[in-house]
């Protein structure tokens, strides 16, 4: 498993950063390699990605979601991964957005890329683009519902 951890401070209130992150279908506007996301219901997403010329489709489920605090997910098929994005207010107008996830690179290219930190570098770029996007546009929507996964075992995801 490869672990990615990155964070960025954005100059918007925590509710704005959180609300924008819940607009999953807008991810292609700031996430490299994400072709599309279809939100099937409040907790299920279908992803289409294209990285290094390789297209993949997979599904994820949101396992925990608490407004202005965190969103956790895990894959239900395809690439094995799970993660969490958390939102920490630094002031009334500034928020730290932290992303942590684990994934299992499948191909030789993915394994080499993970070994050399390509996944960390991509997430760092994506967070910079998220910062530019949310600071320029504010939130384009938001879902304030709660998802509680119940008792957790093992991973913090």
- The pLDDT tens digits of the residues spanning 20-32 come to 999 999 999 999 9
Q: Which CATH superfamily is domain 2-137 in?
A: START domain (3.30.530.20)
Distance of CA 156 to the CA centre of its chain: 15
> CA 66 to CA 122: how far, in whole Å?
26
Kind plus residue range of the DSSP H or E element containing 88: strand 81-91
Per-residue model confidence (pLDDT) at position 150: 58
Sheet containing 34-39, strands listed edge to edge, beginning at the edge strand earlier in sequence? 2-10, 94-103, 81-91, 70-75, 54-66, 44-51, 34-39
Per-residue model confidence (pLDDT) at position 40: 96
Query: CA nearest 18: which of 143, 114, 121, 122?
Result: 143
What is the number of other CB atoms lying within 10 angstroms of the CB of residue 15?
A: 16
pTM of the model: 0.88
The pair of three-digit structure tokens given for residue 89, joined into one six-digit string:
């207010």
Per-residue model confidence (pLDDT) at position 61: 96
Q: Which residues does the chain have with pLDDT short of 50?
A: 151-155
Per-residue model confidence (pLDDT) at position 152: 46
């Amino acid at each position: 498993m490869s672990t990615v951890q990155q964070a960025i401070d954005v100059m918007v209130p925590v509710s704005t950063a959180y609300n924008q992150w819940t607009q999953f279908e807008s991810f292609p506007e700031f996430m490299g390699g994400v072709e599309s996301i279809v939100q099937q219901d409040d907790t299920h997403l279908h992803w289409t990605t294209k990285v290094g010329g390789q297209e993949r489709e997979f599904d994820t489920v949101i396992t925990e979601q608490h407004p202005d605090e965190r969103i956790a997910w895990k894959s239900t098929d395809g690439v094995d991964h799970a993660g969490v994005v958390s939102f920490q207010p630094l002031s009334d107008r500034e928020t730290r957005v932290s992303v942590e996830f684990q994934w299992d690179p499948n191909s030789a290219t993915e394994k080499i890329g993970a070994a050399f930190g390509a996944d960390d570098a991509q997430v760092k770029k994506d967070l910079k683009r998220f910062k530019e996007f949310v600071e320029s546009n504010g939130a384009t929507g938001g879902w304030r519902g709660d998802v509680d996964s119940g008792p957790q075992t093992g991973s913090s995801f």
